[in-house]
Amino acid sequence: MIVDRARIEEALPGYELGAELGRGAFGLVIAARHRQLDRDVAIKVLGRPGDPVEESRFRAEARVLSELDHPHVVRLHDYVEHSGLFLLVMERLSGGGLALDRVRPEYACALGLAVADALEAAHRRRVLHRDVKPDNLLFAGDGTVKVTDFGIAKIIEGTTAASSSFVGSPVYMAPEQAALGRLGPGTDLYSLSVVLYRLLTGRPVFAVDLPPPAMLLAHLSRRPPPMPDVADRVAGVVLRGLAKDIDDRQPTARSYALDLASAAAESFGGDWLARAGLPVRVDEEVRDAARATKAVRSFETTVGRRLPDWPWGLPPTRLDEVLPSAPSTGKRPAATRPPPGRAPDPGPDSVTEELAARAPAAPTSGALVITPAPAWLLRRPTRRARPLAIATALLGAVLAAIVVGLGVSTFDTGPTVVPGPAGVVASGRTLYVSDPARSQVRRFDSGRVSGSGGTVVAGSGRDGFSGDGGRAVDAELSEPGPLAVDGNGNLYIADIGNRRIRKVTVDGRISTVVGGGTRALNSRLHASQVRLTQPFSIAVSSQGVLWVAEQQRNRICRVQPDGTVEAYVGTGQAGFGGDGLYASWALLKAPTAVALNPSGDRLYVADQGNRRIREVRVGSGFIRTYAGDGSDGPFRNNVQATAGGLSSVYTLAATADGTVFLGGTDARLVDPSGFVRPVAALPTISLAVTPNGTVYLVAEQKNTSGDRVHRLYRRSPSGELTRLPW
């Protein structure tokens, strides 16, 4: 077509015209700049003025774009009719078009989310695009994908629309378009699925060199080839979108976006969207779905399941039975006032989390065995009635009866109160010991330790939650457990009963550094927003960077000194995978302990469910197996740490020379050369190592009455073991 640029300048006197950007059957697009606003635009010029059908479509596109104010839809600035010219003035998209090469799956899914959300905005206004294809997916200068060219959009007058004419691109055309049948939101979703199929697999659904009639017949009658090299859940969303019958596809673009978001989270981890490399501007409901992963049972079934096909090509692996997560309503629950003296309840899933916390990782043999966690991790009754504890106990009794009735295994719930020390950490010549029975933390200097001695540094002796901002000795704690000390002498306490990490500064003031919020950790948040489950282990660097193991959520989070929290190790899905790759992509199963070496560049994780110790290089973020081969122990002395099985591990400690201490069924170490050495034949729930090689251990044993008690031991650098009074 020949366009008189002078006529366009006359119609748009405020614009300076530039080069031609493209042309097609619709007409052409010319670059321009608004002189006063200094804004770059693109001017779309109707190619066949005088054609009533084309003019009607052009006006319809203008109306559609004027109503669609969405970050992933091209923005309309103006519509002008002048002396037979029909002009659309739109934002200029300088980022180019969508290439049809195979891309990273996270990138493809992020693009799918953006486009689906844009289509949802159109569908809510009863507009079908009818021509979703790569040519109509362009990018702004910052990389944001935009849906363009609503020139053949269909206005849905009722609940359905019929295709009265053959429009669209055969390669991306839905079967009902080809058959001039009933259209709906699924029509655009089919086309989007064709695009995503190509991006995820690197190949088209059907050969692009097919003649148009053969291509249309393929869409009508041929099943799409499978997607074996794509994660199962993601492939399932795309293949459902390619169903021949529109009623078999996702009913809305919103449901498509939610399905794709949750599938990507389960397949690539809760932080996949941040790693996608594509700006995505969607609402909080879709973003929450992109962060969430499925809840996972705390024991392995005898049948097992395959893991999704992960990007690094791991072989099929047994996976815990996966429970589908409840659909999001997009609404926050109403705030409730906590009982006096108690921290706010973390949410409606707390009973489930309580039970999950008590279930240890399953043996790899596949038999169902339920054994008790260390008793100090179990919630104990207090002077105040606890409805949650009562409900948990009743439910636990029912589960016990069922298990016994099935003849599978039995378990001993043990005493609810275990007196004695729990967490222990050494800082120079100072030893800190937590005492959950007294709801206190004590400090002992120069190695003089006794149960009634030392100095109370935190806890009034009353179980509960209070005191933030005041003196730590006046605060209430609930089941204080693991401890850590940073380079400035600040003490960190895993306040397990309150689902918080508390910090006691050198001047004796206490505060919450993480926990107490309402949101599960699925992306970068502030520590005050996070709702912890039960923090079974903590570690802290000399600079005050805190690490927290969340067993039930199968991940390790990192808390920066400014309160920024992020999931650093694990996707949140239970399983094993990721060695040699980024720790955030890895799969963990019920991690029970973390430890940091003194320089802070090595993080060790007790990956209990996988019977391994994993090592993370903090600088690069890569993860590997440090000890254990995945089989159930016992850990053997004088062999390479990766050459044998590993039993229960509840605590870790690392020293400057590269030695890693493990406490569980007994206490052992892995020396810098990678060999296993004995430390103490004690069932160890906590340990600490001083710079001179002295090891303090908290052992869980039985007294003469058969009750479990905690006892504190010291092992000298020469190997002499001494029980300390408590």
Mean pLDDT of the chain: 78
pLDDT exceeds 80 at position 56: no
Q: Which of 69-73, 288-292, 472-476 has the highest mean pLDDT?
A: 472-476
Q: Which CATH number fits domain 5-91: 3.90.550.10, 3.90.1010.10, 3.30.465.10, 3.30.200.20?
A: 3.30.200.20
**Cα 41 to Cα 75: distance, rounded to the nearest angstrom:** 10
Planar angle of CA 285, 289, 293, nearest 5 degrees: 150
pLDDT above 80: residue 165: no
Peptide bond into 634 cis (omega under 30): yes
CA dihedral 97, 103, 105, 108 (to 10 degrees): 10
Which CATH code fits 96-155+170-290?
1.10.510.10
Q: Can you count the helices (H) and strands (E) in the chain?
A: 12, 40
Kindly state the tokens that stand for 304: 């097992």
Of these ranges, 117-131, 336-350, 518-532, the one predicted with the greatest mean pLDDT is 117-131
pLDDT at 299 > cutoff 50: no
In this predicted structure, the answer to whether residue 59 has a pLDDT above a threshold of 80 is: no
pLDDT band at 625 (very low <50, low <70, confident <90, very high): very high
pLDDT of residue 441: 95
Tokens of residue 102, six digits: 């195979």
Range with the poorest average pLDDT among 37-46, 317-326, 434-443: 317-326
Sequence-ordered strand ranges (E) for 143-274: 145-147, 154-155, 161-162, 182-183
> CB atoms < 10 A from the CB of 694, how many?
17
Angle between helices 350-358 and 387-406 (to 10 degrees): 50
- The residues spanned by each domain of the chain are 5-91, 96-155+170-290, 480-723
Report field, pTM of the whole predicted structure over 0.85: no
State yes or no: 44 annotated in a binding site: yes
List, for residues 68-102, the tens digit of each pLDDT value. Answer: 788 998 888 888 887 778 888 888 888 888 988 89
Predicted confidence band of residue 2 (pLDDT cuts 50, 70, 90): low
Read off the pLDDT of each residue in 651-665 and give the average, rounded to a whole number: 95
In CATH terms, the fold of domain 480-723 is Methylamine Dehydrogenase; Chain H (2.130.10)
Query: In which residue are the tokens 């991790």 written?
Result: 377
Quote the pLDDT of residue 103. Answer: 93
> Distances from the Cα of 139 to the Cαs of 66, 112, 706, in angstroms?
20, 14, 70
List the structure tokens of 437.
């029975």
Average pLDDT over residues 356-366: 33
List the one residue out of 417, 420, 376 whose CA is nearest residue 726: 420
Q: CA 40 to CA 227: how far, in whole Å?
A: 41
Instruction: Tell whether the model's pLDDT for residue 281 goes beyond 50.
Output: yes
Q: Which of 259-263, 407-411, 530-534, 715-719 has the lowest mean pLDDT?
A: 407-411
Tens-digit pLDDT profile for residues 205-223: 999 888 888 888 899 989 9
